[in-house]
Amino acid sequence: MAHRWINTLTHNDITPHRAFLNRRQVMAGLAAGAGLAGIGGAAHAADGLEPNSYEDITQYNNYYEFGTGKTDPARNAHTLTTSPWTVKIDGMVDKPGDYAMASIMEAMTIEERIYRFRCVEAWSMVIPWNGFELADLLAMAGVQSGAKYVAFETANRPDEMPGVRFPALDWPYVEGLRLDEAMHPLTIMATGIYGKPIPNQNGAPMRLVVPWKYGFKSIKSIVRITLTDQEPPTSWNKANAREYGFYSNVNPEVSHPRWSQASERMVGGGLFAKRQPTLMFNGYEEEVAALYEGMDLKANF
Amino acid sequence: MDRIRDQINATARRVPTWAVYILCLLPAPYFFYLAVTGNLGPDPVKPLEHKYGELALQLLIAGLCITPLRQHLGINLTRFRRALGLMAFAYVTFHLLVWAVLDVQALGRVVEDIIKRPYITIGMAGFALLLPLALTSNNYAVRKLGVKWRKLHKLTYLAVFLGGVHYIWLVKGIQLEPLIYMAVILGLLALRLRGRKPSRIAA
């Protein structure tokens, strides 16, 4: 059931690696000269998404299991062993068990998906993921009728993840989706970025990507998937229910208690980049609004 | 021990205060330059904003160490306290400017944030408390205000505490660094509350 969503962006939209490398020199040159104004903001075309550089995507991460700084995961995640890797699929499925990453990859169709990524902290990127539809993996295990939610769990390895020794969150990291959200064509399991295997700091070997929700819902380094009929607990909701809801759909009209979600900083735009208005459902309104028909999105944030 | 103390005091006496001002100010354009040239990471606004705020807090804390150092170790760095205080205020101002101009970018949203977001309200309160302290950090004010000057400047304790709360409150979830800062702040404030030891007279 792959290929149910077609990229509107093509490879012509992806900024070539060379140009990205050059961009930094250009900026440094301009800055060293007199004109400091107007550097940022010019980088984004009015239509079409321009993916962030591989460096930006892999050096700027929130992955608290490896430290709470943005560069901590890139620095520390090398200790995570990602091979061999198994995903336990259990709960309301026909074929529960431990699925080896290798057998999953054999069975799945990997495609490229260029998605907007919006962090709850009000910064965003455009990321060219490589992955397969979550629906295909769930079909492999056979979802039983009666299942209403999908729960996910991240690896919890104190010997490989220095950050879990500190209770920044209640480990292991857990997340969940409603079944229809999980089966949506946009929802993928990402295994690569820019055609390369996904780096540890981005959630190797396999992480969820739900592009219309805040980034923390796109749980990384998944070791367990459970089909259930109860709304599963999610880590940030457990940490602070007032600030992080189960749905966490990107919504400029519902502010985080401590900051507005109406606009965002696009990473890579430079020090003087203008904030951009945040789009409803992160720009995927057409694709996903129907899932929330009739729902009060302020109450179910 | 006394000889080391005397050495430190002697060296300190030779350092001109203008040097302290310059030393404290150097990081400001340095980190700004790093930010502009893409060397503060791909999202430079937040790291720059946080760096200035962190330096402000560190300078406030350094200023609060002066009296305990004198009272408990006999090391006299009182001459530099004004520079530390004024530089702390400078960095709070830089922090505020980066936030308002480069981060939020709209006056309406700035005002809205100050009203609606408690951790920002607290940050602004800290800034507001430091303003009169910065304005009276000169010999004229010390002369004019006399005893009242000392009382006014005790507001530093509240300002640094608000700065610590602001930091704890702005991070997501429980994080270690803000808690460490708060522990240091509370420790320094506790030293004050324990009552002043009689001042050691330099030998």
Number of independent structural domains in chain B: 1
Q: Decide: A265 and A123 in contact? Cβ < 8 Å.
A: yes
Residues A184-206 have pLDDT tens digits of 999 999 999 999 999 999 999 99
Taking alpha carbons only, the member of A174, A256, A240 closest to residue B173 is: A240
Helices B118-135 + B107-116 axis angle, to 10: 100
**Which of B37, B41, B105 minimises the CB distance to A71?**
B41
Distance (Å) from the alpha carbon of A259 to chain B's nearest alpha carbon: 7
Mutate to test the interface with B, among A50, A118, A237, A258 (most CBs of B within 10 A): A258
Using the beta-carbon criterion (under 8 Å), do A240 and B41 form an inter-chain contact?
no
For tokens 């406030």, name the residue: B60
Report if residue A184 sits inside a domain.
yes
Is the pLDDT score of B61 beyond 50? yes
Q: Does the pLDDT at position A43 exceed 60?
A: no
In sequence order, what are the beta bridge partners of A254? none
Q: Which residues of A touch B47 (CB under 8 A)?
A: 70
Which residues does chain A have within 8 Å of residue B38's beta carbon, measured at their own beta carbons?
24, 27-28, 270
- Whole-angstrom distance, CA of residue A128 vs CA of residue A17: 13
Distance from the A28 Cα atom to the nearest Cα atom in chain B, whole angstroms: 5
Q: Report the relative pairing of strands A97-100 and A86-91 from DSSP bridges.
A: antiparallel
* Rounded Cα gap, residues A150 and A156, in angstroms: 19
Choose among B38, B109, B171: nearest Cβ to A260.
B109
Chain A residues in contact with B110 by the CB 8 A cut-off are none
Asked whether residue B201 is domain-assigned, the answer is: no
How many residues are there in chain B? 203
The pLDDT value recorded for residue A5 is: 85
pLDDT value at residue A38: 34
B117 and A259: CB-CB below 8 Å? yes
Whether A9 has a pLDDT exceeding 90, the answer reads no
Task: Give the integer Cα–Cα distance in Å for A52 and A24.
Answer: 13
B102 touching A (Cβ < 8 Å): yes
DSSP A12: T
Could you tell me if B119 lies within 8 Å of chain A, comparing CB atoms? yes
**Residue A136 parent element (H or E):** helix A134-141
Residues A174/A79, Cβ–Cβ less than 8 Å: no
* pLDDT in the model for residue B47: 94
Of B48, B117, B175, the CB nearest to A68: B175
* Cβ count within 10 A of residue B69: 16
B117 and A267 within 8 Å at the Cβ level: the answer is no
CB contact under 8 A, B38 and A267: no
Opening angle at CA A158, ends A152 and A160, nearest 5? 90
Per-residue pLDDT, averaged over B98-126, amounts to: 94
SS3 B190: helix
Proportion of chain B in helix, strand, coil states, percent, rounded to 5:
80, 0, 20
Q: What is the mean pLDDT of residues A23-48?
A: 40
The CATH code of the domain that includes A279 is 3.90.420.10
Q: Report the range of poorest mean pLDDT among A23-27, A255-259, B135-139.
A: A23-27
| CA dihedral (B126, B109, B25, B45) positive or negative | positive
Number of domains in chain A: 1
Q: Dihedrals φ, ψ of A46, to 5°?
A: -65, -40
Q: What is the DSSP letter of B98?
A: I
Residue A226 in this model has a pLDDT that exceeds 90: yes
**CB-closest option in B38, B43, B104 to A24:** B38
Question: Binning pLDDT at 50, 70 and 90, where does residue A163 land?
Answer: very high
Q: Residue A90's beta-bridge partner residues?
A: A226
- Report how far apart, in Å, the C-alpha atoms of A122 and of each of A71, A152, A268 are: 18, 24, 14
Query: Backbone phi, then psi, for B75, in 5-degree steps?
Result: -90, 125
Q: Give per-residue burial for A7-46: e unless 16+ CB within 10 Å, then b.
A: eebeeebbbeeeebeebeeebeebbeeeeeeebbeebbee
Identify the domain containing residue A164 by its residue range: 17-292
pLDDT confidence of residue B2: 85
User: Is A286 exposed, middle or buried (CB count within 10 Å of its CB: 0-12, 13-18, 19+)?
Assistant: exposed
- Does residue B33 sit at the A interface (CB-CB below 8 Å)? yes
DSSP letters, B70-95, are HHHH----GGGHHHHHHHHHHHHHHH
Helix residue spans in B80-175 (DSSP H): 81-97, 107-116, 118-135, 139-145, 147-153, 155-170
Q: Give the Cα separation of B35 and B14 in Å (integer).
A: 35
Tell me which residue range forms the domain holding B176: 2-193
For residue A130, tell me if it sits in a domain.
Answer: yes
pLDDT single digits (tens) A73-117: 999 999 999 999 999 999 999 999 999 999 999 999 999 999 999
**CA dist., res. B53 & res. B32, Å (int):** 13
- Residue of chain B minimizing CA distance to A257: B117
Contact at 8 Å (CB) between A244 and B18? Answer: no
B38 touches chain A (CB under 8 A): yes
Lowest mean pLDDT among A15-19, A37-41, A126-130, A227-231: A37-41
Nearest to A271 among B45, B113, B176 (CB): B45
pLDDT tier at A54 (50, 70, 90 boundaries)?
very high
The per-residue pLDDT for A6 is 78
Any A CB within 8 A of B175 CB: yes
Q: Is residue A298 part of a domain?
A: no
Give first-to-last CA distance, chain A, whole Å: 30
Tell me the C-alpha distance between A204 and B199, whole Å: 60
**Could you tell me how many residues make up chain A?**
301
| Disruptive mutation site among A259, A263, A266, A274 for chain B (greatest number of B CBs within 10 Å) | A259
Q: Count of CB contacts below 8 A, A vs B?
A: 76
Residue A13 clears pLDDT 60, i.e. is over it: no
Instruction: Please tell me the distance in Å from B96's CA to the nearest CA on chain A.
Output: 15
pLDDT given for residue A19 in this prediction: 52
Domain presence at residue B203: no
Q: How far apart are CA A239 and CA A163, in angstroms?
A: 16
Q: What are residue A259's DSSP bridge partners?
A: A256
User: What is the predicted pLDDT for the residue at A113?
Assistant: 96
Tokens of A104: 């999953």
Residue A8 placed within a domain: no
| C-alpha pair distances (Å), A187 with each of A5, A112, A190, A192, A250 | 10, 13, 9, 15, 15
Six token digits for residue A296 = 């009060």
Nearest to B8 by CA among B100, B75, B106, B103: B75
A260 with B113: Cβ contact below 8 A: yes
Average per-residue pLDDT for chain A: 89
Q: Which residue of B has its CA nearest to A236?
A: B173
Beta-carbon separation of B171 and A68 below 8 A: yes
Start-end of H helices in A183-225: none
Section A121-127 average pLDDT:
96
Give the strand pairing for A149-154 and A86-91: unpaired
Rg, C-alpha atoms of chain A = 19
Q: Do B44 and A36 touch (CB under 8 A)?
A: no
From CA A37, how far away is CA B56, in angstroms rounded?
26
Judged by a CB distance cut-off of 8 A, whether residue B113 touches chain A is yes
Q: Is A55 helix (H, G, I), strand (E, B) or coil?
A: helix
